[in-house]
Structure 1
Amino acid sequence: MSPIPILDLKFQYQAIENELWPVLKKIFETSSFILGPEVEALEKEIEAFTGASYNLGVSSGSDALLISLMALDLQPGDEVITTPFTFFATVGSILRLYCKPVFVDIQEDTFNIDAHEIPKVLSQKTKALVPVHLYGQCAEMDEIQKEAPHLPIIEDAAQAIGAKYKGRSAGSLGLMACFSFYPSKNLGGATEGGLIATKDFQLFEKMKMIRNHGSKGGYIHEFLGGNFRLSAIGAAVLRLKMKYLEDWNQLRRENAKLYQKYFQELGLLESGKIRPPFVAEGNLHTYHQYVIRCEKRDELQSYLSSKGIQTVVYYPKPLHLQPALAHLGYQEGDFPRAEKAAKEVLALPVYPGLKEEDIREVATQIRNFYQL
């Protein structure tokens, strides 16, 4: 068989190819390259998609997190609660403001932050909470808000556009929400890009200024911001892909069902060697990543690679054990569920356009590795 990559974006390009070049030609003809009509139109379309009233296109998902935290006027030494099991940008944005990330462990099944651990770390210095909707599944937002009703909550929805929690869309569940449009995301652009969604008009206006060096225009700067602007080309590509997003997310869910089918048929579920993703009741998963737990993870990954099947570990070392965060004083054993997940998780190909025969081959090779 041909190699099976972890991601192949050609399927998406083929869907938008005929529309793409006229749109890009118009941008070059008008020479409106930064912000402008394309970005404004994207912001409106995301509003209709998520239900959040105000949306701000920005330079990346990482910058979306940074801007959201800046808008809260956090001070050095303030504490922000988050998960130790996610991409580094979540904690990096906290540290850039000289604030202190405070971790709580994850749920065993969903990999998301465990809301019931939050009260253990609340203090007078706690100023915000950043739950992550990891792999495309929303965290338990009602429980999180119940445990910390006074805290502003910023959803890290970088991996979760299109996900739903009890019928509500990711991006409408907290005070603010941050999306990433990195090319590999479910809604991925041709450039770096991100977006902040909020229901708070005053915060929206403030973040709009932060995006533009703290200015409303006219070279008058009211406070320190940055260059966090989204390009028109990036927005234009995203607008073309938006039309297909729900269909592409559904294809991911169908691929997840096929994995479940073949794991069952090949005896992998009964064996206990692997555990497929768990979807909490009331959640609509987007499977940005299809992540299994497995025995002998590193050996399995090497074996699959030898068979032409690409997999990725998201993430091999939890944040509290990262060298860059040693100054926080955390040690191995502090968050056992996150540490266990880091040793067991493996992402399998799940992208739209993946063929059923490829999914069957992945499952078969996993079965062969365990000699079932």
Structure 2
Amino acid sequence: MTSLKTVPFVDLKIQHEPLHKEIDQAIQTVIQRGDFVLGQALREFESAFAQACGVEYGVGVASGTDAITLGLKACGIGSGDEVLVPANTFIATVIGVLQAGATPILVDCDPETALIDLNQAAKVVTTKTKGIVPVHLYGQMVSPRALLDFAGAYNLIIVEDAAQAHLGQREGYYAGSVGSVGAFSFYPSKNLGAFGNGGIVVTRDEDIAKTLRSLRNYGAPSKYYHTELGINSRLDTIQAGILQVKLPHLSQWNQLRNEAAKQYDELLKPLENKGIVPIKNYSEEGHVYHLYVIRIGQEFPFNREKVQDLLGNKGIQTGIHYPIPCHLQPAYKALGYQLGDFPNAEDLCQQILSLPMYPGLSTEQIEWVGSQISLL
């Protein structure tokens, strides 16, 4: 049992232990059927997850990165096209755009929410801009109404990066239901995680779904008949079976995350005037808190690295999501950006700290984390 004074950043055992018999049975069912690739459990999960997102179709793929790549391609975005992407996302978002053959155009973020700033995005739209990949960062959706208005004004295709926002909600929309497609990751630590890599693209467009199924399977709508340049990117049937067992529990797990975040908010509220400021939630219950992130301002007596070290000495594990913005990553110098181009993203990346967050995090553990930050 986890000690009160040892708080892991993530604890997957809490959610898996009560389900181990069902998970074992799901795995054995796939083994007995022998349909390890594109099998029955995959089809059942694709349908169930799509319906949970409020759309008709789901297409399982090998990773969240591939979900972005294939989602863009299925929407007709490729060579010569520009796609708007926030500068403070995980690099996989940029990789997805590049793998689709398009050019990522980075955009600064709102410092309060860490979400893409659509006012800044409007300044870099050109005749080549064909799409936008809003990232529902940390589990909070970009405002669907604002996003739809923006995309409509500039005739842009929306490909949602919902890798951190499984069943997230805002303004009556589920994550993945706003754009032409929504891309999700099932990396083990996600709100809905597999026992390895995996992803899915969801859509309400039947033609896009058909294209996605072909693209993920060597560009073949039927066996040995290849109509387009596809790849091998399929969600394993065993992983889909595991995810199908976990899916009915996702809403409750998200609610537990949201409740934990409220406890953090209350404990940390007295520290806001000292420079400890949580990323703002404008989605209320719809924020699914894949991560609970605070900003450590310059007025606080210790910088982020020192705070992380001091908390670590108390047995409190933390993370940084993400320490280097995309435009300052050495591998992406060719995009042509430099230090100072996206000041909000650059400041955030120096200040943010992710606190322990997972369903099953106890009130006592949250209070311990809050008390230790208060004592700094």
Q: Same fold (TM over 0.5)?
A: yes
Distance (whole Å) between structure 1 residues aligned to residue 20 and residue 285 of structure 2: 33
Alpha-carbon contact 1:214-1:223 (below 8 Å) kept: yes
- Compared CA separation, residues 283 and 247, structure 1 to 2 (3 A): closer
Alpha-carbon contact 2:143-2:171 (below 8 Å) kept: no
1:209 equivalent in alignment to 2:211:
no
Q: What is the match of residue 274 of structure 1?
A: 276
Q: What is the match of residue 68 of structure 2?
A: 65
Distance (whole Å) between structure 2 residues aligned to residue 254 and residue 97 of structure 1: 38
Superimposed CA distance per residue, residues 69-127 of structure 1 (whole angstroms, 9 cap, x where no aligned partner): 12233343321111001111100111123321101111111111011122211111111
Among 323, 343, 347, the alignment partner of 1:316 is 323
- SS of equivalent to 1:113: coil
Alpha-carbon contact 2:319-2:354 (below 8 Å) kept: yes
Among 350, 353, 367, the alignment partner of 1:346 is 353
- Compared CA separation, residues 75 and 231, structure 1 to 2 (3 A): closer
1:331 equivalent in alignment to 2:338:
yes
Q: What is the match of residue 24 of structure 1?
A: 27
1:254 equivalent in alignment to 2:259:
yes
Among 91, 98, 102, the alignment partner of 2:101 is 98
TM-score (norm 1): 0.95
Alpha-carbon contact 1:166-1:282 (below 8 Å) kept: no
Give the number of aligned pairs.
366
Q: What is the match of residue 86 of structure 2?
A: 83
Q: What is the match of residue 300 of structure 2?
A: none
Among 125, 130, 137, the alignment partner of 2:128 is 125
* Aligned-residue offset at 1:282: 6.5
Amino acid at match of 1:30: R
Distance (whole Å) between structure 2 residues aligned to residue 323 and residue 179 of structure 1: 26
Q: Which runs of 5+ in 1 are unaligned?
A: none
Q: Which runs of 5+ in 2 are unaligned?
A: 298-302
Amino acid at match of 1:141: P
Alpha-carbon contact 2:296-2:352 (below 8 Å) kept: yes
TM-score (norm 2): 0.94
* Aligned-residue offset at 1:209: 0.3
How much is the aligned-residue C-alpha RMSD, in angstroms? 1.4
Distance (whole Å) between structure 2 residues aligned to residue 54 and residue 20 of structure 1: 24
Which segment drifts farther, 333-342 or 91-100?
Answer: 91-100
1:111 equivalent in alignment to 2:114:
yes
Amino acid at match of 1:315: Y
Q: What is the match of residue 148 of structure 2?
A: 145
Alpha-carbon contact 2:139-2:290 (below 8 Å) kept: yes
Among 12, 15, 31, the alignment partner of 1:12 is 15
- Compared CA separation, residues 38 and 311, structure 1 to 2 (3 A): same
Superimposed CA distance per residue, residues 232-256 of structure 1 (whole angstroms, 9 cap, x where no aligned partner): 1100110111111011101101111
- Compared CA separation, residues 216 and 241, structure 1 to 2 (3 A): same
1:51 equivalent in alignment to 2:58:
no
Distance (whole Å) between structure 1 residues aligned to residue 25 and residue 325 of structure 2: 44
Alpha-carbon contact 1:118-1:148 (below 8 Å) kept: no
In percent, how many aligned pairs have the same letter? 41
Distance (whole Å) between structure 2 residues aligned to residue 75 and residue 232 of structure 1: 29
Q: What is the match of residue 171 of structure 1?
A: 176
Distance (whole Å) between structure 1 residues aligned to residue 34 and residue 246 of structure 2: 22
Q: What is the match of residue 286 of structure 1?
A: 288
